[in-house]
Amino acid sequence: MTADAFLFWFLAALTIISALSVILMTNPIYSALSLAMTMVSVAAIFVTLQAYFLAGVQIIVYAGAVMVLFVMVLMLFDLKHELQAFTRGRFSGAFKIASIGSLAGLLVGAMYSARINSALTESSIAANATSKGAITPLAEELFLRNVFGFEALGVLLLVIAVGTVALSRSKGGTHARH
């Protein structure tokens, strides 16, 4: 067994286990910590796929900013262990799990039938990276070809920031009387 294969299986197991614990932990704080763990392991998987920049962004934005946001809110609410963490209804629960399982099976089956079986090798991106620096192709793609989308995202974030403030500071909705 090669080191690559070992690394993949290790990271895959780590990702799955931590993701499962996100949805299975009854205490939201544990869920949040498990989510952070998932983020970090996904970042590591990005590294194995030679997307170093994205791995960094993943750590900083997700595991840093977003997770801090989640934990902050949880602390704010001071939520304890929940008695009813999962939805009720035996029938609908069974139906939900059945559809999840069948969809998962279908997805895996689809991928198996697609047969992208060529072994993972050094990609051309990495080859370019040695000559021009690892970040350059991404930056060119992002800031030259997709510059409109990038700017639109900036506007969106601004709107979101304002909206979030408006939502959370009012007491009974944005149009409540004082």
Partner 1 sequence: MPDISILTTITPNHYLVLSACLFMIGVAGVLLRRNLIVLFMSIELMLNAVNLSFVTFSHSFGKVDGQVMVFFVMTIAAAEAAVGLALAVSIFKRFKEVNIRFFEHLKG
Partner 2 sequence: MNHQLLVAILILSPLIGFLLNGVRFKHTNYIAAGAIATTAVFLSFVCSVLLFMDLVNAPENQRTIAVGFYEWFSVDKFTINVGFVVDQISSIMILIITGVGSLIHLFSIGYMHHDKGVTKYFAYLNLFVFNMLLLVLGDSLLTMFVGWEGVGLCSYLLIGFWFNDAAKAAAGMKAFITNRVGDAAFIIGMFILFATFGTLNIHELNALAPTTMEASWLGAVTLGTLMLFIGATGKSAQIPLYVWLPDAMAGPTPVSALIHAATMVTAGVYMIVRLNPLFVVAPNTMMVIAVIGAATAVMAATIGLTQYDIKKVLAYSTVSQLGYMFLAVGVGAFGAGMFHLMTHAFFKALMFLGSGSVIHGMHEEQDIRKMGGLKKYMPITHITFLLGWLAIIGMPPFSGFFSKDEILWQAYSSPRGHVLLWVAGAIGAGLTAFYMTRLMALTFWGTSRVDKHVHPHESGSLMTIPLIVLAILSVIGGWVGIPHVISESFGHIPNYWEHWLSPLMTKLPELAENAHGGHSAAEEWALMGISVSIASISALTAFVMYLKKGDAPKKFVEAIGPVYKAVYNKYFVDEFYFASIINPLVTGSRNLWYYVDVNVIDKATYKATDLVRGGGSFVRSLQNGNMQQYALYIIAGVAITLSLVLMR
Task: Name the residues that contact partner 2, by CB under 8 A.
Answer: 87, 92, 95-96, 99-100, 102-103, 106-107, 109-110, 113
CB nearer to partner 1: give 104 or 133: 104
Q: Work out how close the CB of 76 gets to partner 1 at its nearest, in angstroms, rounded to a whole number.
A: 7
Q: Select the binding partner of residue 131 from partner 2, partner 1, none (C-beta < 5 to 8 A, by kind).
A: none
CB nearer to partner 2: give 113 or 118: 113
Q: Work out how close the CB of 152 gets to partner 1 at its nearest, in angstroms, rounded to a whole number.
A: 10
Q: Select the binding partner of residue 161 from partner 2, partner 1, none (C-beta < 5 to 8 A, by kind).
A: partner 1
In whole angstroms, give the CA distance from residue 171 to residue 102.
43
**Residue ranges of the alpha helices (H) in 25-77?**
28-48, 52-57, 67-77
Q: Work out how close the CB of 57 gets to partner 1 at its nearest, in angstroms, rounded to a whole number.
A: 6
In whole angstroms, give the CA distance from residue 61 to residue 68.
10
Could you give the angle at which helices 28-48 and 3-24 cross, rounded to 10 degrees?
A: 160
Query: Does residue 21 contact residue 41 with C-beta atoms inside 8 Å?
Result: no
In whole angstroms, give the CA distance from residue 101 to residue 31.
22
